[in-house]
Structure 1
Amino acid sequence: MKGLFFVFALLLALSACKKAETDNSAYLAQIGIDSNKIRAYLIANNIPIKKVGDTIGVYYQIINPGDVASLYTQSTLITVGYSAKILGAKDTLSQTNAYHPSFTLGSVIRGWQVGIPLIKKNGRIRLFVPSRYAYGPYDQTTNLKIPGNSCLDFDITLYNVTN
């Protein structure tokens, strides 16, 4: 009986390893797809290519660097105005016109966490975010109509920074 249990446990462990390898392969393939998609879009639209770090894959264009030095932590409260689109789409998914929501920096998507600290209060930045730094392979259908593995294009104005 112990031998049967051991064989079952071994088979279960091996099948879990195979799934993890498959998931990792899909993740790595998506990194390449996203990178190529964003770079092609930036080149086709004559947007200067600037990248956050060497391995992150978030590209940006600073439209206005801002004028008030800001310190950022995961608990920093940011007040923003923004528009969001799926990269290359004409229709805007979400935008703030009459109101400016506030978020803690640690609660927003990873693309914002690495991009917003590049500007100061009253600054404006455009972020081109790969899917892994947005919503990954998961559809966002509750409020937004974002398919999984979507690269996103944000135009963000930073109105206030509070620590």
Structure 2
Amino acid sequence: MNLREWMNQNSAVVTIIAVVLLLVSLGVIIMTLTPKQVGRVVDVYFMDTDDGKLFVDKSDQLPPVVAPSGKDGVRAFIFSCSDCGDEASHFVGWLETYTPAAKKAIEAPVEGPEGGMDNYELIENGHMVADPVSKKWVPANSEYGFKIMDMIQNKCGDEAPKPCFPGR
């Protein structure tokens, strides 16, 4: 029995296979043509390292950025123990920046089968945080880096500090 005879005798099976192949093909086409989801860009706070003043920029900007003074601006994580609408209750939890090498590695990821994993350690070690008072920069993934980011938990008593964003 040749293929043509088998297909004629099993037309229901052939129809099911054809429909499944059509649906899979449509799914592949739709997934290929659908744009990738991009993270939402919002306004966030930055601190001018020259004068210590806060300013607003977009969340897709990697620090350091150019501050209004022309000097470096670093990301400032702002919190409140009450309502974020009350700017008098705001406090800086910690500051964040990247070393020049880490920022370059993030902005121009390595192409290839590893997908930039070669730069993972460089980026992790170049992600820096600082206490807003001492402004001493340490790696975010270090023991002291974690302590800096955890210190805000005690600032609001029994309440959890609320993260605040500009205009919200």
Q: TM-score, normalised by structure 1?
A: 0.28
Structure with more relative contact order (C-alpha pairs < 8 Å, separation 6 or more): 1
Q: TM-score, normalised by structure 2?
A: 0.27
Max radius of gyration: which structure?
2
